[in-house]
């Protein structure tokens, strides 16, 4: 960009600058989202209950990352979802507890998802905030 701009070209130059800025921010969001979800998935594998849950499959090994919901073109939204692909039915039961099969009592909750969500949610916000502030300086 030259040091002087004709007044007729000012709007075009400002729009070009803003479009480039939006693209840079989108790249930062994608990069940060990918790295944080990968770390959170590994943390879930470490903190998930490891015994007595699923007889045939290992619950803690089932955590995976997939792309989030599709969005309309131009909405500038990027999402990832961490889910348990082998025993997705157990996540709610383990996190919040449930009645025993015979109905004689209650199985205690084993919270492991919410802790990771809170930890990596704040980590995501901090990382993204630092990247955006670095861009604006």
Interhelix angle for 113-136 vs 10-47, to 10°? 150
| DSSP H or E stretch at residue 81 | strand 80-84
pLDDT (0 to 100) of residue 33: 94
Under 8 Å between Cβ of 81 and 92: no
Under 8 Å between Cβ of 94 and 62: no
pLDDT (0 to 100) of residue 8: 84
Q: What count of other Cβ atoms lies within 10 Å of the Cβ of residue 48?
A: 23
pLDDT digits (tens, 9 = 90+) for 65-113: 998 877 667 677 889 999 999 888 989 999 999 999 898 999 899 999 9
pLDDT digits (tens, 9 = 90+) for 118-136: 999 999 999 999 998 887 7
Q: Most distant CA pair in the chain: distance in Å? A: 81
- pLDDT at residue 1 greater than cutoff 50: no
Cα 16 from Cα 103, distance rounded (Å): 65
**Boundaries of every domain in the chain:** 7-136
Q: Is pLDDT larger for residue 52 or for residue 79?
A: 79
């Amino acid at each position: 960009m030259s040091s002087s701009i004709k007044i007729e070209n000012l709007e075009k130059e400002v729009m070009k600058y803003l479009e480039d800025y939006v693209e840079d921010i989108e790249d930062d969001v994608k990069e940060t989202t990918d790295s944080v979800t990968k770390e959170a998935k590994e943390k879930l594998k470490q903190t998930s209950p490891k015994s007595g849950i699923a007889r045939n499959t290992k619950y803690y090994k089932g955590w995976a990352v997939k792309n989030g919901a599709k969005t309309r073109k131009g909405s500038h939204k990027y999402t990832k979802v961490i889910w348990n692909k082998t025993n997705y039915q157990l996540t709610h039961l383990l996190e919040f507890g449930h009645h025993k099969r015979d109905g004689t009592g209650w199985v205690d909750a084993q919270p492991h998802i919410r802790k990771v969500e809170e930890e990596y949610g704040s980590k995501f916000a901090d990382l993204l905030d630092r990247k955006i502030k670095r861009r604006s300086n």
